Structure formats: C-alpha cells, structure tokens
Structure 1
Amino acid sequence: MAELGGTQIPDGEFTAVVYRLIRDSRYAEAVQLLSGETQRIPKSRAGLSLLGYCYYRLEEFTMAAECYEQLSQLHPELEQYRLYQAQALYKAGLYPKATRVSFLLVDNPTYHSQVRRLQAAIKYSEGDLPGTRSLLEQLMSGEGGEESEAENESDAQVNLGCVLYKEGQYEAACSKFFAALQISGYRPDLSYNLAVAYYSSRQYAPALKLVADIVEHGIRQHPELGVGMTTEGIDFRSVGNTLVLHQTALVEAFNLKAAIEYQLRNYEAAQEALTDMPPRAEEELDPVTLHNQALMNMAARPTEGFEKLQFLLQQNPFPPETFGNLLLLYCKYEYFYLAADVLAENAHLTYKFLTPYLYDFLDAVITCQTAPEEAFIKLDGLAGMLTEQLRKLTVQVQEARHNRDDEAAKKAVDEYDEILEKYIPVLMAQGKIYWNLENYSMVEKIFHKSADLCNNHDVWKLNVAHVLFVQENKYKEAIGFYEPIVRKHYDNILSVSAIVLANLCVSYIMTSQNDEAEELMRKIEKEEERLSYDDPDKKTYHLCIVNLVIGTLYCAKGNYDFGISRVIKSLEPYNKKLGTDTWYYAKRCFLSLLENMSKQTVMLPDSVIQECIQFLEHCEVYGWKIPAIIEQPLEEERMHIGKNTVTYESRQLKALIYQVTGWNL
C-alpha cells in the first residue's frame, strides 16, 4: 500500500494516481508518492522512469540524472536512458560528465542527431564556440538524422544565430533568428531569441514588440496561467513549472521585459514585469527570475536581495551576471570586506565572469578602504585607458558624419556611450576618495578635467552640482547644473530626487532668487496634491524635504526661531509626511538646537519651546511603526526593535528639552 495525504491507495491504483498527478503537473506530490515515506527510490523500471521525469520537470536535474543512470544500469539494452541521463547532466551544468555519457551513444544511428545536438549545446555552454561550429557543420552536412528539410533548415538558422550571438555579432544573430521564424512560422521560443538579440544590440523598441506578442499569445491561448494576477493583487495559486509554461516562453519574455525597462531606468515598470509573470512559489523560481527579483527589489528589500544572490552563487549553473552584480552591490552598500572575501574564495570565477575592466574597477574600489592613494592611482590608470578610447571614438564619429556614413556613425556613438558608462563610475570613485576627506575643491578639479567627455551625462552634472553646492560659496554655479536636470523632468517633477529640488531651492534663496524658489515649491505642491487626489494613501515627501532643508539652512545660520518652525510645519500632516528620511532631517535640527541651548548660546521664547514639545508628542503618536534609521541589510547585531522607532527617539528629544530648559514634566 502507498499513502498520499493520509489516504491509503491500493497497489492496483498506484500507477493511475501517479499518472494523474503528472498530468496535473503536481510533480512534487508524484515524487513524494514514488519515493515513499522512507524516501526509498523504487527499483522498478516504471517507477524509476516516472521519478526521473518528475525530477526533470521540477528542475532537480542531478536527481533526474541519478534515476536515469540506475535505469541504464538495470536495462543496458534501452539506450534512451543514457540519452536522458546525458540531457539531465547537461541541464545540471555537469558538462564533462554529460559529454562522457553522450559518447557512449555516438555509434547508435537512432540517436546520432540528438547526441550531436546535445554535444553542440554542451560545447556552447562551455564557451567552446569552434567546437560548437564543428558539430553544427556535421549536423548541417547531412549527418543530422531523419528530420524534414524545413526543420533542419530552421534548426540550422537557430544554431548559427546562437553562435553568432555568443560571439557578440548581434545584428547577424537577428537575421538568423528572423530567418528561422520565416521558415517555421510563429514560435514563442524563436521570438524570444530574436528579442534577446535585439536587446543586446540596444534595439529596445522591436525587442519590446516581440515580448508583447509572446505575452499576448500566452494570455490568449493559456488564460489558466494567471498572467498579471499577482500585480493586480489577486490571490492565484502557483502554476508550477509545467511543460505548457515552458512552451509559452512567458517567463523568459517577462524577464527580458524587466531587463529592458531596467536599462531604460523605468524601475517601476521593471518590477511590474516580474510580478506580471505566471505565479510560482519561490522554490519553483528559475535562476534568472530569482536574480532579477533580487536586483530590482534591492532598494526596498536589500537583505532578501543579498540572500538570493548569495544562494545563486552556490548553484551550478547560475546566471553569469550574478557574480559581478553581487560584488558591485557589496561595494555599493560598503561591505568591502565581503566583496574581498568573495573575490578571494572564487578566484576560478573571476576570469570567467568578470571583464578585465570590472575586475580592475572592483579591485581599486576595495583598495580604497585601506590604501586610498594606491586606489586613486589604479583608478587613474583605468580612467586614462577609457579616456583614450573615448577620444578615438569621438574622432570616428566625426569622420563618419563627415563621410555621411550613418551606419558607421551610429555604431561609433553606441560604442562611445558604452565606454562612457564604464568611465563615469571610475570618475565618481576617484571623486569619492577626496569627498570623504572633505577636500571638495579637489573633487571639483577631478570632475572639471572630464568636462569635455561627460558634460551631457546626467550623473556627471548631478555630482558636479553637489560638489559646488557643498562648498557654500558657489551657489550660482550649482544652479547652472541643477536647473537643466529639473527642467528636463519639469512635467513630472516628482521623478526628480527630493534632495536635488531642495538644494536648488536653497541655492535660489542664497542668491536672492526667492521668486524662483517659491515658484518651484508651488510646482511641487501642485504635483503632490494631484498625486494625493489620485492615490490618497500614498506618502509624498518632496515638498516636505525641500522645507526641511530650508529649515536646516536657517538653523545652521543661527535663526532657530524661523528654522525650527519651518521644520515643524513641513511635517504636517504627520500621517503623510513623517518617515525615516524626513525624521532624519528634523532630528538633526533639534539636536543642533539642544546643543546650542545647553551651551547657552541660543535662547528661545517659551512659545517656540512649547511648539517643539507639541511637535515631538505628535511624532510619538505617529512614529511607532516608522524606523528611526535604516539598518545595513547584512548587520549581524540588530538594534532593539523598540528603540529603532521615531516614537522612541522623539521621547528622548522631549526629555532632553525638559532637561535643558528646566521645565517640569
């Protein structure tokens, strides 16, 4: 007797139940039933075969390979099991072993074509492109089996397209995939291949069009897959990793859409693309989806993102971008010692997954923490190399335009943009070394030297504006850099960082351009009112932070009466304006006030002190769920949950006010 969910199943019905579970894509339950309560793998041919199939569908390829290995030993006359074993090993990333098993079948004409395709796929995954081409040529020369001429031609175009793609010849790959689609008719997997090739050649519009077609076909033909249900907030059970889901290419299409939107800096659209895909449990997610979820939700859930990337790095195989992205994110969150440890522990991955540029950049950034002078020299060498490339490409663009060669000009411009995206982080890392030393004039000099190359890049302009602003005597120059950034997004002003708007307002005030500051603040207020009307529960902080920064400015100049009042008013209504960031600015002003009051350098009227106490009491009421600080995601020792709240800190500040002023509670 076997058991399933507490119900005993007669032996005669056992196979029927298993087949029913497989038909319904309930592979995990079928595995549980086949394995038995003691996890004893059955030795019968039917049991092992079904178990291997279920493991394969669950993407537990190593377990599937073990099942097929046992079957090939029990039934050596049935060589299809060796083929299945080789395929499972290939999927598990065990390429050498998969190759050895496949060679046991090369003399069997029945499987000759399938074995050659599998071996070509293995060579391709190992990065052996000459070996891949050799095997593909054998297939195209008539050794490929009994498939129809159309199938052979379509497969040949796809295979060549994949090799060209791997070689970086994306436009040539596009033509091969397009030809395959013309031969075979519409196929989601081929449309996806073509979309990826367009994406890699930065042709985002046609890539998104193909993705939209894949999604439309998937929704129309398989509404049961629940596309978009998660985004709509509808509770929809997992659809599992079924064969139907694989054939629709919906998961791949949504991942590609997320990648395109992310590249275009449409971060909300990128996150939505991931939630639009058919719902699956976390343990059912493929590595690419897991990687993209980690990357695109990093700002909101960094701890979870690091856990996912660390998990992926332990799998074989994992998305190639995982290694570099994990290292870059460690550096972004200033876990430099973790980045150094990962590099040291995975030296074998360095040459495979990191470009020379990325390795040199990471090495320099990590070195900054212990030897900033040495790091600056490393970054300077890298910057010099990239600068030379940029200048050469500038000449190529000019020559191509002079010769009216639009294609060459476009290619050179694309290459220039690609190199510039590498140069900007190097330049910013150099500037950060002196920024940390508060040597802002040196930061300005570093940025000035690159003006001819970067003057149209938003990141460069933004950082130049910041370094001019922080020097406190170059507000007019800072306005010249902040204004174009704000004007560019004036119709959607809330998409501009609040601190940029705040710094621009302060710069206007400090240069006696109060009318411009008021006009900008009115614009922000109108946009926030419109947004509040559309979504009453949504918190908006832009105008609040602008007022907080202005209030901070007055406090810094010693005008606490006006400055503190401005800070207090900026946080009304508290249910919409009180947050971790806004509390940070507010408490800085209060701490500065308390410090000066304790030194008796500042005296405030009783009415202002009473206003401060009432404000802190309001913060107590509304701040019990709001973290006072955002802790680093990988800290081992966490703050006490009751102390890391705005409520707790506001009570502390109120107690200090009573202590300093001598008021009675």
Structure 2
Amino acid sequence: MPFAPIKDGEFTSTIYGMIKEGRYENAIRSLQYELQRTPNSRAALSLLAYCHFYLQEFAEAAEYYEKLVQLYPTYTEYRLYWAQSLYNAFMFPEATAVLSQIDEPQFAGQALKLESAIKYREEDITNARILVEKYATDDPDSDINLACLEYKEGNYEKALECFLSATQLHGYQPCLAYSIALCHYQMQNFSEALKFIADIIDRGVQDHPELSIGMATEGMEVSSVGNTHLLRETSLVEACNLKAAIEYDLKNLSAASEALTDMPPRLEEELDPVTLHNQALINMDNNPSDGNQNPFPPETFSNLLLLYCKYEYYDLAADVLAENADLTYKYLTQYLNDYIDAVITQQTAPMDAYNKFEAIGNEQINELRKLTKRINEIRQGNDELILQKTIKAYDDTMSKYMPVLMSQAKIYWDMNDYLQVEKIFRKSAEFCNENDIWKLNVAHTLFMQGNKFKEAAGFYEPNVKKNFDNMLSITAIILANLSVCYIMTNQNEEAEELMKKVENEEEANAENSNTPKSFHLCIINLVIGTLYCSKGNYEFGISRVIKAMEPYDKKLGTDTWYYSKRCMISLIENMAKHIINIRDSVLQECLEFLEQCEIYGKDVPTIVTGPLIIDELEVENAKNTVTYEARLLKALLLEVMNN
C-alpha cells in the first residue's frame, strides 16, 4: 500500500497520537518520510530514537541518539539516552565510553546507575556493588539493585529482604512481585512463590484483558500481542515461565505446559530465550523429537501421510507410521488412522483392504442417516442456525465417506471389473447421487464398459453444462469421453458443437501469452481416434490421431503421446498378426508421424514421475523420452512392413 504523507498542520498531533496508542511502527514510517525531507530534523530524530527504543530495537535507537549528540553536543540528555541504548543493545564497552563523556553534576546519579548496571551485566559483581553503594542514601533504587546483587551471589534470603523493603517503599510493582517469587523459588518455597505469581497473573487478567492471558489454554484463537512495553511492565511472561518451572520441578508436566500457554500469545519469532527453553524442556519429556526439531502444525503429520498415499509412496507412509507411533496417537483421528492403514494394506491384500474400507464406510453411512433424519426434523421447526450447523456436519461426514467409497471402487477398477465398480456406486446412490465427484466417477465406469455410452453421457453432461462458458476448466478426458458418447449414440451434431466450443476457447486462449497452453481439443481428437482404432477402423482412426498432434512442437506432450502410441502399438500388433491390411499411403503417414515425434520428443518424458523422484536421474534415462519410444515404434513398424 503506498504511503500517504500526513497533512500539513496535523503532523505533531498525528505522530504523538500514534505513540500514545503504541503504534510505533506507523510512527517510524511517517517520521522516516519527514526525515527524508529534513535530514537534520531534531524532532524527527528524537522521536525515531524513542520509538525504536520502545520497540526494543536498541541498536537503531543508538544510531539516532548518536546523530543527535553530533548535532547538539551540549544537550547531555541525548548522550545519556545514547548510552542507555548501547547498554540495552549489549554494547557495553561503547556504552561505558559514552558515559565517560558525561560530567554534568545533574546527570551524575543517572550515569552512576547505568554504569553499575553495565558492571552487573558484565558479571563484575564487585565493582557493581561498589558503584551501588555510592548511591544517595535516600535513593529508592538502592534496595532493588542491592537485592539483585545479593541474588546474583546466591544470597536469596538477603535478596528477599531487600525486595520486600523495596516493595514497602515503592508500593506494589509486578517486577518486584516477580523478584520476590523468584527468591522463594530459589529457596524451594514453592507455595509462597506461587502466591506471588498468582497475584501477578490475576492483576494482569483484571487490568489488561487485551493481553489475552489464558485464552490459548482455553482453545481460543488469539493473535500475537507482540513484545510491547505494556507486556514488559506486567511481568506476565516472567511469572508464567516461573510457574512452569515450579510445576516442572513438581513433576506436574500438564500444569507446566498449561502455564506456558497461559502467557500472552506471541509469534514464535517473538518468544524470548527463557520461554523457548522451557517449551523445549517440557516437550522433551513428553516427546523427545519435539525438543530437537522445530514444532510443526498438527495437520502436517496427517497431510504428509496422505500425500505419500496420493503419489503411491506406500512404503514411505508405512515407515512413517511405524517410526512415529507416538505422533500417530497424537495427531491422527481414528478415522484417518484406519483409512491410511486400509490404503497401505491395499497394496498387498486388496480384499482385506476392501473389508477395512467397508467397515469405515459403514460408520460414515450410519452417521449420514442420523444426520439426514436430524435435518428433516430441524426443517420442520424452522431453526435456521441449528439447521446450518447440522448441514455442515452432514457435509463433513460426506467428505469422509467419499474417499472411502472411491478407494473401494479403485480396487475393482484396477482389476478392470467395471461392472462391480458400478455396483459399488449404485449401492451408495442413496447419499451420493447429487455429489459431482460421485457422478463423474459413475460416468467413467459406465464409459469403460463399452456398451453404456448413453447412460455415461447422462452423468458427464451436468458437469459440462455447469462449466459451459469455461470449457477449458473441465478436465480434457471428460470432454473427450463425452464426445465419444455422442458419436457412439449417433449424436454427431452435439459432438461437433462441443468440439467447436473447445476449439474457439483454445484459439482465444492462444492469443494470451500469459495463459498456459491447452491440449483439450488435441486429447478429444486422440480419444476419438482411439475409439475408431478400437472398432477396427485403423485408417480413419490413425489419421485422426496424426492430425490431432499437429503442430508437433505445441501438441506433443506426455499425455498426448500416451494416447498416440497406444494406437500405433495396436496397429503394429494387428498387422503383425495379419488381422488387418493398411494402405501404403497410411503407413507412410505413420512413419512420417513417428519421425516428427522423434525430432520433437527429446525433452518430453513418457512417464510422469512423483515429486520425490530426482529429475536429473530421470533425464539420464534416455528410454524415458518420446524420442526413444518413437524410434522403437518406427523400427517395429518397418520390420512388420518388410515382412
């Protein structure tokens, strides 16, 4: 989205409004635009530094404060802020060097505190204590810093006394409450520590509902609250981490995990090291693999298995299941586990798999019957909301039943037992007769039987008519099979109209260079040519196939070659058996056709490989090219012709 500059006269109010609302990123964007106009703008530089500081982008803040110091060397506050930014960016030597340049008495106290903090961070506890002891006697930060030093040296009781004293002086502060809880934790006073933690969390829930505390644990979808200044002030992240540590020590792993999910939600890249450590530690006990690998969405495991099955990597799917039994129970529903098991079984024991699919399908059918009855009852009561929910449940159940049904049908389809496939589909018509996937597969089944073209056309037509204005969106084989159905039932005009519509769309499509090439009309003609060849009319069928492949540089592909070579192989086989006689002119056309395929088929594979097959290895296999197969068929044809 393009940047819109702030209107004249509204810049100051707009920027301060953004800062007040915590929209520091927006403020930075506007200020950077202003800085381009006036590179040395004091207001823009100071506000940019301020915004970056509160976004914890301390290195960027330090750069802007350094620029301000260069422009306004007498304004000591900028030098102090520069040192603070460097300190928070863990650039301690640089911060110390900047502090050494501050000699104004009014800033001596702040410089002393920052120097002691640097020594503390550098683990120089001795010098840090010396500096803290130089604080003014009435300095309210003295007790807090001494408490931190005592804690650092392992003197938890003394640290606790100092933190309690600071609380009496300053009043309740979340950071002090957390520090007290931390001391109790180190002294193994878990119950006392949990009291202070509970107080921090309760106050956070009451005072800051916008931080979504505990909502993730309750299963609600929440968005990240970010690492805001408000979040840091509440000490909620620290409190939840400490609670998780206590529960972990007490072996209450579920409570420890819940403590982590109770904290305000943040993106993974926003998590602090302590939270990441605790997550890994707790997950390591529950599942060692989670502690060593990046977490993944729950859907990943099931999707991986389904993709393996889709591309017929059944051995890989079986290995994943066997090696990750814990993930199977954690991430797979009973339905999905049973379904994948049946799919894998299908490769070695088809009928056992069929029975497994039958059991799964019966469960879904029973649920569909219940939901159908429920829908009819609700419609009589006119409760639209409940009706929509029930229909959604019905659709979800149908989406589970359909893959099971298709898997059953595939078992007999692979056996070429299309009549049995038809029986399976007819049995499911009670629920599926309005389902497009079901109708399409019924059409394929009727078509393959070779004597039910009229019935097949009746199932193909609804899909085609639904997309009549965009025929190229329909799978080419559907259009090809429907054209054959029309031809075989003497509906030649309908077949011509269908093919003309596809041709017009392909011509319009060809004018748009950004649109992928379409092979629809080519495949339709190939299927029709195949039909005539199957009926014994090879001369017309082969001529149709050859014409469909012109021009070869645009039409020759893996799919189109598949249909073409089937006709050629059938022709050669029947000639070798002396079943048919073909005119010499037609045979010459076949030789020229194969020569053209040999020329243009060098880079066209004959087998479509799965996604895990390395393309380079396939290319090295010269036999997996149209050129190789065309040359082989040409040699066979010449041998038959010469005999």
Give TM class, smaller chain.
Answer: 0.5 to 0.7
| CA apart distance, 1:322 | 1.6
- 2:418 maps to 1:361: no
CA–CA distance in structure 2, aligned partners of residues 80 and 496 of structure 1? 72
Taking a change above 3 Å as real, the CA distance of residues 408 and 505 of structure 1, as seen in their structure-2 partners, is: same
Q: Secondary structure at the match of 2:623?
A: coil
- 2:183 maps to 1:155: no
Q: Which residue of 2 aligns with 1:650?
A: 630
| CA apart distance, 1:454 | 1.0
Q: Secondary structure at the match of 1:519?
A: helix
Q: Which residue of 2 aligns with 1:605?
A: 583
| CA apart distance, 1:599 | 1.4
Query: Does structure 1 retain, via aligned residues, the 8 Å contact 2:180–2:196?
Result: no
**TM-score of the two chains, using structure 2 as the length reference:** 0.59
**Rg comparison, structure with higher value:** 2
CA–CA distance in structure 2, aligned partners of residues 80 and 471 of structure 1? 84
Query: Does structure 2 retain, via aligned residues, the 8 Å contact 1:549–1:585?
Result: yes
The correspondence of residues 210-359 of structure 1 with structure 2, limited to 5 A, is 315-359=293-337
| CA apart distance, 1:392 | 0.8
- 2:177 maps to 1:109: yes
- 2:185 maps to 1:144: no
Once the two structures are superposed, residues 432-464 of structure 1 have per-residue CA deviations (whole angstroms, 9 ceiling, x without a partner) of: 111122221111111111112111211111111
Query: Does structure 2 retain, via aligned residues, the 8 Å contact 1:571–1:577?
Result: yes
User: Structure 2: where are the runs of 5+ without partners?
Assistant: 1-55, 62-85, 92-120, 126-146, 153-173, 183-193, 226-265, 271-288
**TM-score of the two chains, using structure 1 as the length reference:** 0.57
- 2:638 maps to 1:661: no
Pick the aligned partner of 2:541 from 543, 559, 563: 563
Q: Which residue of 2 aligns with 1:442?
A: 420
The correspondence of residues 387-536 of structure 1 with structure 2, limited to 5 A, is 387-535=365-513
The Cα RMSD (Å) is 4.2
| CA apart distance, 1:144 | 2.6
- 2:564 maps to 1:586: yes
Taking a change above 3 Å as real, the CA distance of residues 47 and 627 of structure 1, as seen in their structure-2 partners, is: farther
CA–CA distance in structure 2, aligned partners of residues 557 and 153 of structure 1? 76
Once the two structures are superposed, residues 484-519 of structure 1 have per-residue CA deviations (whole angstroms, 9 ceiling, x without a partner) of: 011111111111110111111111111111111111
Identity level (%): 51
User: Structure 1: where are the runs of 5+ without partners?
Assistant: 1-18, 25-44, 51-70, 82-105, 115-135, 167-172, 181-242, 248-310
1:449 alignment partner AA: K
Query: Does structure 1 retain, via aligned residues, the 8 Å contact 2:486–2:492?
Result: yes
| CA apart distance, 1:635 | 5.2
Once the two structures are superposed, residues 10-49 of structure 1 have per-residue CA deviations (whole angstroms, 9 ceiling, x without a partner) of: xxxxxxxxx999769xxxxxxxxxxxxxxxxxxxx99997
1:155 alignment partner AA: L
Query: Does structure 1 retain, via aligned residues, the 8 Å contact 2:309–2:317?
Result: yes
Pick the aligned partner of 2:597 from 616, 619, 634: 619
Query: Does structure 2 retain, via aligned residues, the 8 Å contact 1:539–1:577?
Result: no
Once the two structures are superposed, residues 109-135 of structure 1 have per-residue CA deviations (whole angstroms, 9 ceiling, x without a partner) of: 247999xxxxxxxxxxxxxxxxxxxxx
Q: Which residue of 2 aligns with 1:385?
A: 363
Taking a change above 3 Å as real, the CA distance of residues 113 and 503 of structure 1, as seen in their structure-2 partners, is: farther
| CA apart distance, 1:630 | 1.6
CA–CA distance in structure 1, aligned partners of residues 443 and 195 of structure 2? 58
CA–CA distance in structure 1, aligned partners of residues 503 and 368 of structure 2? 42
How many matched pairs? Answer: 426
Taking a change above 3 Å as real, the CA distance of residues 137 and 602 of structure 1, as seen in their structure-2 partners, is: farther
CA–CA distance in structure 1, aligned partners of residues 303 and 268 of structure 2? 28
Query: Does structure 2 retain, via aligned residues, the 8 Å contact 1:112–1:145?
Result: no
Once the two structures are superposed, residues 411-449 of structure 1 have per-residue CA deviations (whole angstroms, 9 ceiling, x without a partner) of: 000000001000000111111111122221111111111
CA–CA distance in structure 1, aligned partners of residues 439 and 609 of structure 2? 30
Once the two structures are superposed, residues 195-240 of structure 1 have per-residue CA deviations (whole angstroms, 9 ceiling, x without a partner) of: xxxxxxxxxxxxxxxxxxxxxxxxxxxxxxxxxxxxxxxxxxxxxx
Query: Does structure 2 retain, via aligned residues, the 8 Å contact 1:112–1:144?
Result: no
Taking a change above 3 Å as real, the CA distance of residues 609 and 445 of structure 1, as seen in their structure-2 partners, is: same
CA–CA distance in structure 1, aligned partners of residues 565 and 316 of structure 2? 32
| CA apart distance, 1:535 | 2.3
Q: Secondary structure at the match of 2:518?
A: coil
CA–CA distance in structure 1, aligned partners of residues 504 and 374 of structure 2? 47
